[in-house]
């Protein structure tokens, strides 16, 4: 029997389940954005701009490593949600046990490779000589603690797969507060600089990982594993990689496409670069509700496809689409009526505000398309069609690179082609995502390993 610490999404109102599941995820994502800003302020103000640059130089590599653990954790979560929806307690426990082998193995490989080859990897990223020393210190320390990041991501994915999106939020908030406090203590009190910042992050992540494990063991019976559950299951391990790796690669490819677009932006000078940066910050916030809804849909769809209820999956898709539409329509008047004031929060330069305001209005017309990338993606991932995630990533790379080259080369458009590229990429990718969902392959995917 499913305990009250878990949520069975195969019964009850789909809309109510998704709203209750999405809100904690949204709060967690927004809190993470705020924490990242505060962390940067601490480093920039109390360690120095060179230290901030050194930490920033590790950003893309760190994103790649974290994407790998997040993708694999998502794959494991899909397995668990499907077994949970099917009411198969034995396979839920086996999937949780085998998650240990997958995540621990990946974390160890990343840690060893990161520590050993960190200088070479940073050199490939053309890290300036002036900051590479601090970058190596930060990255090696962060890689050494990758086991804690991977453990938290894995535990959070497992808890969400069982319908609990609140507990990971609580531990994320506590971890973030601990991180900021330790940043100040290690930097101001002990003068540890970049190393202190990295150690603070590791300790905070270790807290969240260990706290999740203790909570899960005490409160959720599925995590009280016996000897028979701990035997490595090759099929489950392979399936976890099959489901998780495409998602990890998708995130990495999207990051690469954004870097390519940034290269085009840089050719138009500092004013356009500033406007593009501001719009990017705003879009990070705008995307959080869509992203959170997609994560909710992954669990919801996983449980219901596990229970063999495809009609309920369709109902969830329709209601999630309506939620995305309503949210998107609400943002358009905000962009048109308050766009200038919103951009003005970030900068006082009149030309940057002018460009940024128009760019925000252009993008706002395509927010629903952005939402319709996330909604089908969440359903498809939950149903086990995560291979499409890789296709999805390739589409975004091709669109951003090709559209940016074509549109910005049209004289009448010029730099406005940058934001038209973003909108065109969203629309094209959304159409392909919806087409994949409508094709219905997700209904007839082979059952997961038994």
Out of 121-130, 257-266, 351-360, give the one with best mean pLDDT.
Answer: 351-360
CB-CB contact of 423 with 369 (8 Å): yes
Query: Please, what's the b/e burial string for 33-71 (b: 16 or more CB within 10 A of its CB; e: otherwise)?
Result: eebeeebeebbbeebeebbbbbbbbbeebbebbbbbbbb
Structure tokens at 306: 């596990």
Percent of the chain scored above 70 by pLDDT? 94
Decide if pLDDT at 210 tops 90: yes
Stretch 100-112: mean pLDDT: 90
Instruction: Calculate mean pLDDT across residues 319-329.
Output: 96
Burial tier of 315 (Cβ tally within 10 Å: 0-12, 13-18, 19+)? middle
pLDDT at 53 over 80: no
Q: What is the pLDDT of residue 37?
A: 64
Per-residue pLDDT band for 285 (boundaries 50, 70, 90) equals confident
pLDDT of residue 254: 78
pLDDT-based confidence at residue 390 (cuts at 50, 70, 90): confident
**Beta strands per DSSP E along 199-335:** none
In this predicted structure, the answer to whether residue 40 has a pLDDT above a threshold of 70 is no
Own/partner pairs for 397-406, CB < 8 Å, 24+ apart?
Answer: 397/253, 397/254, 397/256, 397/257, 397/260, 399/257, 399/424, 399/425, 399/428, 399/429, 400/257, 400/258, 400/260, 400/261, 400/425, 401/257, 401/260, 401/261, 404/260, 404/261, 404/264, 405/264
Q: Token digits for 14?
A: 């789909």
Q: What 8-state DSSP symbol labels residue 3?
A: -
What's the pLDDT score for residue 42? 73
pLDDT for 36 beyond 70: no
Cα–Cα distance measured from residue 120 to residue 137, given in angstroms and rounded to the nearest whole number = 13
Q: Is the pLDDT of residue 252 over 80?
A: no
CA separation for the pair 154, 160 (Å, rounded): 10
pLDDT at 128: 76
Query: What distance in Å separates the CA atoms of residue 1 and residue 60, rounded to the nearest whole number?
Result: 44
């Amino acid at each position: 029997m499913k305990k009250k610490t878990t949520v069975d999404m195969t019964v009850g109102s789909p809309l109510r389940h998704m709203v209750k599941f999405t809100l904690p995820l949204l709060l967690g994502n927004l809190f993470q954005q705020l924490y990242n800003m505060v962390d940067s302020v601490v480093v920039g103000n109390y360690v120095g701009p060179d230290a901030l640059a050194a930490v920033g130089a590790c950003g893309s590599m760190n994103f790649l490593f974290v994407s790998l653990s997040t993708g694999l954790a998502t794959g494991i979560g899909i397995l668990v949600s499907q077994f949970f929806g099917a009411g198969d307690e034995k396979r839920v426990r086996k999937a949780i046990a085998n998650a240990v082998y997958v995540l621990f193995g990946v974390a160890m490989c990343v840690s060893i490779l990161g520590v050993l080859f960190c200088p070479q990897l940073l050199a490939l990223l053309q890290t300036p000589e002036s900051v590479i020393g601090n970058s190596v210190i930060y990255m090696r320390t962060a890689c050494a603690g990758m086991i804690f990041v991977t453990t938290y991501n894995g535990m959070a994915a497992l808890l969400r797969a069982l319908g609990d999106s609140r507990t990971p939020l609580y531990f994320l908030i506590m971890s973030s507060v601990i991180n900021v406090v330790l940043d100040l203590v290690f930097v101001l009190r002990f003068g540890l600089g970049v190393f202190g910042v990295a150690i603070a992050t590791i300790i905070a992540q270790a807290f969240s990982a260990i706290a999740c494990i203790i909570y899960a063991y005490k409160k959720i019976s599925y995590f009280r594993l016996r000897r028979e559950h701990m035997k490595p299951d090759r099929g489950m391990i392979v399936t976890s990689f099959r489901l998780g790796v495409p998602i990890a690669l998708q995130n990495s490819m999207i990051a690469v496409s954004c870097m390519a677009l940034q290269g085009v932006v840089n050719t138009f000078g500092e004013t356009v670069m500033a406007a593009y940066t501001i719009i990017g910050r705003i879009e990070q916030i705008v995307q959080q509700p869509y992203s959170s809804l997609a994560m909710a849909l992954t669990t919801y769809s996983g449980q219901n496809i596990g229970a063999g209820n495809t009609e309920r999956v369709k109902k969830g898709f329709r209601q999630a689409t309506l939620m995305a539409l309503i949210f998107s329509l609400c943002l358009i008047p905000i962009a048109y009526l308050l766009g200038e004031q919103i951009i003005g929060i970030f900068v006082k330069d009149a030309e940057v505000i002018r460009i940024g305001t128009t760019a925000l209005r252009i993008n706002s017309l395509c927010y629903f398309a952005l939402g319709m990338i996330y909604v089908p993606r969440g359903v498809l991932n939950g149903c086990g069609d995560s291979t499409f995630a890789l296709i999805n990533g390739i589409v975004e790379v091709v669109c951003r690179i090709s559209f940016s080259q074509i549109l910005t080369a049209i004289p009448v458009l010029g730099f406005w082609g940058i934001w038209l590229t973003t909108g065109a990429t969203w629309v094209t990718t959304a159409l392909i995502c919806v087409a994949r969902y409508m094709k219905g392959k997700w209904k007839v995917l082979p059952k997961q390993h038994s």
